[in-house]
Amino acid sequence: MKRFIQTIRNIYKIEDLRKRILFTIGIILIYRVGSYVVLPGVNPSGLANLQSQTDSGLMGLINMFSGGAFSNASIFALGIMPYISASIVVQLLGMAIPYFQKLQKEGESGRKKMNQITRYLTVLILLFQSPAYIRNLVNTIRPENIYPFDPLGNIGIFSYFGLSSLLILTAGSMFIMWLGEKITDKGIGNGISLIIMVGIIARLPFALVAEFASRMESQGGGLVIFLVELVVLIVVILVCILLVQGTRRVPVQFAKRIVGNKQYGGVRQYVPLKVNAAGVMPIIFAQAIMFLPITLVGFSNSETLSSFARAFVNYNGLWYNLVFAILIVAFTYFYTAITINPTQMADDMKKNGGFIPGIKPGKKTAQYIDGILSKITLPGSVFLAFVAILPAIIRLAGVNSQFAQFYGGTSLLIMVGVILDTLQQIESHLMMRHYDGLTKSGRIKGRSGGITG
């Protein structure tokens, strides 16, 4: 406790770090306030049906990612996920289309062009998702709770209410994206990831209270069961921390000249390769794709869907979780491939006079590193997929669906990854100015992945 208080004092002493943290907190407060600003024309007291619709199921998961803005019919109802979807598409194009590959190699100018393309694509996605949300909103709450601003009482998508809501929802998500970019530039941590994490954490108190209330009921199991659930949750959090930080070191023998003795001595060093080099990005990408089915059908109730569509809207079902897990494994390999370049790593080793014992420098070294990377990525991706679908398993044990989302899954992995990443940046600022960090070792390993604005 004493060390923590001293660290807070050290942070306050560093003017730049203090300003960055306060700026980040201010932007987050703007985002949270906006989550409660209801769309013009909607009566806030008539949202009970919409809020009950988002208590569980895939709609509940979407609501959690928006920090409750979805169920509040807020101007931020669609959240940041459309931007995530656009980022996925652009990064996939970077592997398949020469023009995007060229942009990736152009450095800062290429990155700016790709970010601009991502923004345009985000607007396009929002123009499809906004009508779906408006259609669900009109069908869910009673007509008298909507002020259509139309003499004929028309509240369809082409009414004054529909068109104004479409523009506001689109502008709201783009504003969130802008807030995230400002945090990245002038605040602390990755802005987009922080906004996602804040939205998730905002739902934790409600989920905790709901689970406690259910356990205190006559058939709920009592306080003991609730405490056991908390212990299991802590264990899962520790496992997630190990998953995000876990590394395996590949030995590399360097020839080092000892000037004084005019001799050469072997000094064993290591190339760090993470078991989960992609961090939490595969799970974010996979989750964004799993939101597509319900978006395409206009956020409809599962009773009105075909059996095929219903299977992918039920996030407790076998098919949903199986496809979700497969996507996570695939995206882990994909993101690892664009994050770590074995050829570049082999070239850097060769330039610095390094080599792997028994492996020829150059192409053979690149192939060796690629093989090692593939072997350690497989168990990491499978374990990541298991943690992602763990909430569905926990729900089978009778845990409230809202609280079960924090037993692994997208929510917990994002929270752990973003918190570690942010703490690592704070640690770097402290150590750079010769202050004690947040840990005795002065080293906090953050996640390797992140969505940049």
17-42: pLDDT as tens digits: 888 889 999 999 999 999 999 888 88
Banded model confidence at residue 168, pLDDT cuts 50, 70, 90: very high
pLDDT computed for residue 322 by the predictor: 87
Which carries the bigger pLDDT value, residue 425 or residue 34? 34
Q: Under a CB-based contact definition with an 8 Å cutoff, are residues 246 and 379 in contact?
A: no
Task: Show Cβ contacts of residue 368 under 8 Å, excluding neighbours closer than 6 positions.
Answer: 356, 359
Which carries the bigger pLDDT value, residue 361 or residue 169? 169
Rounded to an integer, the average pLDDT of 413-434 is 78
The pTM score is: 0.74
pLDDT computed for residue 449 by the predictor: 45
Res. 441: pLDDT tops 60: no
Strands (E), 32-72: none
Q: Look at 67-71, 107-111, 245-249, 385-389 and tell me which has the smallest mean pLDDT.
A: 245-249
Percent of the chain exceeding pLDDT 70 equals 78
Q: 309, 304, 303, 299: which is closest to 138 by C-alpha?
A: 299
Kindly give the residue spans of alpha helices, DSSP state H, lying in 97-107: 98-104
Q: 412, 350, 365, 366: which is closest to 386 by C-alpha?
A: 412
Dist. CA 440–CA 447, nearest whole Å: 20
Tell me whether strands 354-355 and 247-258 are parallel, antiparallel or unpaired. antiparallel
Instruction: Tell me the pLDDT of the chain averaged across its residues.
Output: 76
Long-range contact pairs involving 85-93 (C-beta distance under 8 Å, separation at least 24): 85/122, 85/125, 85/288, 85/289, 85/291, 85/292, 86/118, 86/119, 86/121, 86/122, 86/124, 86/125, 87/118, 87/451, 88/285, 88/288, 88/289, 89/121, 90/114, 90/117, 90/118, 90/121, 91/338, 92/334
pLDDT computed for residue 256 by the predictor: 37
Which carries the bigger pLDDT value, residue 369 or residue 149? 369
Q: Under a CB-based contact definition with an 8 Å cutoff, are residues 129 and 82 in contact?
A: yes
Terminal Cα-to-Cα distance of the chain (whole angstroms): 36
Where do we find the tokens 């570690």?
Answer: 420
Backbone angles phi, psi at 272, to 5 degrees: -75, 120
pLDDT computed for residue 299 by the predictor: 54
To the nearest 10°, the Cα dihedral for 395, 398, 400, 404?
-30
Q: Of the spans 20-34, 200-214, 225-239, which averages the highest pLDDT?
A: 20-34
Rounded to an integer, the average pLDDT of 69-74 is 86
pLDDT computed for residue 26 by the predictor: 93
Dist. CA 183–CA 197, nearest whole Å: 13
Rounded to an integer, the average pLDDT of 127-132 is 86
Which carries the bigger pLDDT value, residue 155 or residue 396? 396
Banded model confidence at residue 331, pLDDT cuts 50, 70, 90: confident
pLDDT computed for residue 167 by the predictor: 92
Strands (E), 39-100: none
Q: Residue 452 corresponds to which tokens in the numbers above? A: 């940049």
pLDDT computed for residue 239 by the predictor: 77
Task: Show Cβ contacts of residue 55 under 8 Å, excluding neighbours closer than 6 positions.
Answer: 401, 402
Which carries the bigger pLDDT value, residue 443 or residue 309? 309
Rounded to an integer, the average pLDDT of 202-223 is 79
* Domain annotation for the chain: domains and CATH numbers: 2-432 (1.10.3370.10)
pLDDT computed for residue 61 by the predictor: 74
pLDDT computed for residue 179 by the predictor: 92
Dist. CA 288–CA 186, nearest whole Å: 27
